[in-house]
């Protein structure tokens, strides 16, 4: 979390610098327009102070800032939201998506697999089945937090998440099976299980 706070502060600092650049450009235009003639128009057109060049450069910087701001999205503990738009999966720079505690959320966004930069995912929903085919294709995912998934009965049967480092499962009252084959979770370092009263961690393994 500290990393993303630091990143947001840096983005805000860069945004302030952009505002300063816009102000400087405005003043530069005022001075240029006050002394305009054919020769200065031509000279300015072919110089680095060309307004068109400035606009293109600033548009590129704004686009880059937008990407950097779209790395973290949290709706944590929002108990009113029922649906998250599928268009959220177009945020290819998103690194953290936190929907934990959204107890009224009926379904997760479709095509989560498109979140190619996602490193951390936290989810709560009324669905009975986790979209494992999408999650297994999140090739950057390192932290997965599943909480209050009340209708969920089983997880990760035959599923591989080879780079996942932390898995937290809590308050999944119907969960009965969580077969974690070490060959499928080769990088897993931390497993947290809490308040899953029917869960049998041995279920799904061969004797």
Residue 145, SS3 per DSSP: strand
Residue (of 198, 139, 141, 202) closest to 166 by Cα position: 141
User: How far are the Cα atoms of 9, 77, 111, 113, 124 from residue 84, in angstroms, in the given order?
Assistant: 27, 14, 12, 15, 12
Mean pLDDT in residue range 58-85: 81
Residue (of 101, 112, 189, 108) closest to 147 by Cα position: 101
Are 85 and 103 in contact, with CB atoms under 8 Å apart?
no
User: How far are the Cα atoms of 8, 176, 192 from residue 5, in angstroms, in the given order?
Assistant: 5, 37, 25
Mean pLDDT in residue range 88-112: 92
Are 113 and 91 in contact, with CB atoms under 8 Å apart?
no
Average pLDDT, the chain: 82
pLDDT band for position 67 (cuts 50, 70, 90): low
Q: Write down the CATH number for the domain with range 71-207.
A: 3.80.10.10
pLDDT surpassing 60 at residue 5: no
pLDDT of res. 136: 93
pLDDT of res. 116: 93
Q: For 23-29, which contacts have Cβ atoms below 8 Å and span 24 or more sequence positions?
A: 25/51, 25/54
Give the Cα separation of 164 and 142 in Å (integer).
4
Residue 105 has φ and ψ, to the nearest 5°, of -65, 120
Q: Which of 69-73, 148-152, 164-168 has the highest mean pLDDT?
A: 164-168
Q: What is the pTM of this model?
A: 0.70
Mean pLDDT in residue range 164-178: 94
Q: What residue segments make up the domains of the chain, in order of their start?
A: 2-69, 71-207
Give the Cα separation of 163 and 184 in Å (integer).
9
pLDDT band for position 17 (cuts 50, 70, 90): confident
Of the two residues 207 and 79, the one the predictor is more confident about is: 79
Residue 195, SS3 per DSSP: coil
pLDDT of res. 60: 79
Q: For 92-95, which contacts have Cβ atoms below 8 Å and span 24 or more sequence positions?
A: 92/116, 92/117, 93/67, 93/68, 93/117, 94/70, 94/118, 95/4, 95/71, 95/119, 95/120, 95/140
pLDDT surpassing 60 at residue 176: yes
Residue matched to tokens 């300015």 = 44
pLDDT of res. 39: 55
Give the Cα separation of 170 and 38 in Å (integer).
72
Mean pLDDT in residue range 170-177: 93
pLDDT surpassing 50 at residue 42: no
Percentage of residues in the chain having pLDDT higher than 70 = 76
pLDDT band for position 66 (cuts 50, 70, 90): low
């Amino acid at each position: 979390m500290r990393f993303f706070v630091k990143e947001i502060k840096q983005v805000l600092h860069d945004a302030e610098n952009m505002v300063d650049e816009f102000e400087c450009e405005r003043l530069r235009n005022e001075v240029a327009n006050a002394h305009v003639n054919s020769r200065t128009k031509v000279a300015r057109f072919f110089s680095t102070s060309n307004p068109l060049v400035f606009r293109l450069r600033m548009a590129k910087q704004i686009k880059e800032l937008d990407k950097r701001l779209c790395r973290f999205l949290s709706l944590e503990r929002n108990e009113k939201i029922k649906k998250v738009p599928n268009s959220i999966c177009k945020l290819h720079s998103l690194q953290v998506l936190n929907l934990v505690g959204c107890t009224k959320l009926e379904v997760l966004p479709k095509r989560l697999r498109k979140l190619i930069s996602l490193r951390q995912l936290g989810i709560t929903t009324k669905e009975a089945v986790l979209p494992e085919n999408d999650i297994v294709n999140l090739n950057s995912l390192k932290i997965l937090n599943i909480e209050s998934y009340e209708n969920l009965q089983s997880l990760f049967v035959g599923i591989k998440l080879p780079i996942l480092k932390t898995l937290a499962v809590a308050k999944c009252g119907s969960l009965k099976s969580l077969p974690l084959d070490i060959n499928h979770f080769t990088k897993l370092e931390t497993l947290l299980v809490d308040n899953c009263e029917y869960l049998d961690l041995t279920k799904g393994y061969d004797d």
